[in-house]
Amino acid sequence: MAAIFEATCTAPVNIAVVKYWGKRDTSLILPTNSSLSVTLSQDQLHSKTSIRASADFTTDRLWLNGIEESIEKNKRLVACLRETRALRATLEAENATLPKLAGLKIHICSENNFPTAAGLASSASGYACLVYTLSKLFELPLNASDLSVVARQGSGSACRSLFGGFVAWEMGEKADGSDSRAVQIAPETHWPDLQAMICVVSDEKKGTSSTEGMQLTVKTSALLQHRIKDVVPKRMDDMIAAIHAKDFPKFAELTMQDSNQFHAVCLDTYPPIFYMNDISRAIIRIITEYNKDGVKAAYTFDAGPNAVIYAPKENMAEIFSILSHYFPGAAFDDSLNLVKENP
Ligand code: PMV
């Protein structure tokens, strides 16, 4: 039996407070605007990936949550493999003593400990984990920002999950995508008082994938053009300033405005895309009422109906009990499971 080379890693979920929505290059995954997210702690939500390489393997194979899936049909996964193998091949060419891994077939096992494709950023943690684990297997001498350029080609938002804390994905300008990468704005220790609560409104697979949705938006929405030119550049600066100053009311206001605009852009898409449902909108009303005399919580929704609530630690118990009050009995079952999570 030939030697087996193996690596196993976990990667966290990130939830954007300035959303990425729209690609200017669909194969390299270059966005139409910069974005910014908070990486959640890995204690509750994470992807875990194990990769093995061996001369005994005859094909590349992939198991996602225990079920085998085709690698060839998944162009983005193929791109991440191609990029990391090319980097390994360069290392091997420079150093003849290294084991020859670049040419070996690999087996990948990846699982999420939360619903896949329900708007809970599973592609972000999944691709970040894939690329990070490949980099460990191939012993690539790359930093997190360099790896983010590869992870971006799996799923755009994945590039931000290579860092903890507060992370910007700079859209970049170059046609080859080399400057479209993630950078850390502040580490996870910067704002320990800030927490995130995930309200699982539905764990069903979303109707319109983010890939399909954003391309339709780019083609048809006039509001998107206003958003990317006139709104996001200043909002990125304001958000970075609010994070550095730990100014929660400002952070919250910008987060909610950006979530609202992202969903407005989805509605402006033709035909329109609806990601939020009645429970999502009820959560917006509850948080708006809760903030009447001062901003104490922020909601944000990705490409699905689930809410993420950001708030200072001291408000979380109150928010939890208010939401449980409005959704009695449903608060802990399959219509509204509340999971607490520390960023
Ligand atoms: O990376 P994707 O293709 O799953 O797109 C993610 C899009 C949003 O989650 C809605 C926004 C974001 O910035 O994460």
Please classify residue 146 by burial: count the beta carbons closer than 10 Å to its beta carbon, then call 0-12 exposed, 13-18 middle and 19+ buried: middle
Question: Can you give the pLDDT of all 343 residues of the chain as single tens digits?
Answer: 899 999 999 999 999 999 999 999 999 999 999 999 999 988 778 999 999 999 999 999 999 999 999 999 999 999 999 999 999 999 999 999 999 999 999 999 999 987 664 556 678 999 999 999 999 999 999 999 999 999 999 999 999 999 999 999 999 999 999 999 999 999 999 999 999 988 888 767 668 999 999 999 999 999 999 999 999 999 999 999 999 999 999 999 999 999 999 999 999 999 999 999 999 999 999 999 999 999 999 999 999 898 999 999 999 999 989 998 887 654 443 333 444 444 3
Helices (H), the chain: 75-94, 122-137, 144-151, 210-220, 222-226, 232-245, 248-268, 278-290, 313-326
By most ligand atoms within 8 Å of CB, the mutation choice from 32, 38, 210 for ligand 1 is 210
Tokens matching residue 227: 């958003």
Specify which residues 199 forms β-bridges with. 307, 338
Residues 6+ apart with CB under 8 A from 241: 247, 250
Asked: is 194-341 a CATH 3.40.190.10 domain? The reply is no
By most ligand atoms within 8 Å of CB, the mutation choice from 15, 21, 258 for ligand 1 is 21
Instruction: State residue 343's pLDDT score.
Output: 37
Instruction: Categorise residue 255: left if φ over 0, alpha if ψ from -120 to 50, beta otherwise.
Output: alpha
Residues 6+ apart with CB under 8 A from 84: 131, 134, 135, 138, 140, 150
Phi and psi (nearest 5°) for 269?
A: -70, 150
The Å distance, Cα 16 to ligand 1 centre, comes to 8
The Å distance, Cα 33 to ligand 1 centre, comes to 12
Ligand 1 atom nearest residue 158's Cα: 1
The protein residue with its alpha carbon nearest to ligand 1, atom 9, reads: 302
Fold of 4-186: Ribosomal Protein S5; domain 2 (3.30.230)
Distance CA 211, CA 256 (A): 23
Identical fold, 4-186 and 194-341: no
* pTM exceeds cut of 0.90: yes
Residues having CB within 6 Å of any atom of ligand 1: 16, 19-21, 35, 123-124, 155-157, 210-211, 302-303
Do 54 and 105 form a contact (C-beta atoms < 8 A)? yes
Specify which residues 264 forms β-bridges with. none
By most ligand atoms within 8 Å of CB, the mutation choice from 13, 15, 20, 263 for ligand 1 is 20
The Å distance, Cα 289 to ligand 1 centre, comes to 28
- For the chain, the structural domain boundaries read 4-186, 194-341
Ligand 1 atom nearest residue 14's Cα: 14
Distance CA 244, CA 265 (A): 28
Distance CA 152, CA 174 (A): 15
Instruction: State residue 326's pLDDT score.
Output: 86
The Å distance, Cα 298 to ligand 1 centre, comes to 18
Instruction: State residue 122's pLDDT score.
Output: 73
Instruction: State residue 336's pLDDT score.
Output: 38
CA of residue 160 relative to chain centroid, distance: 7
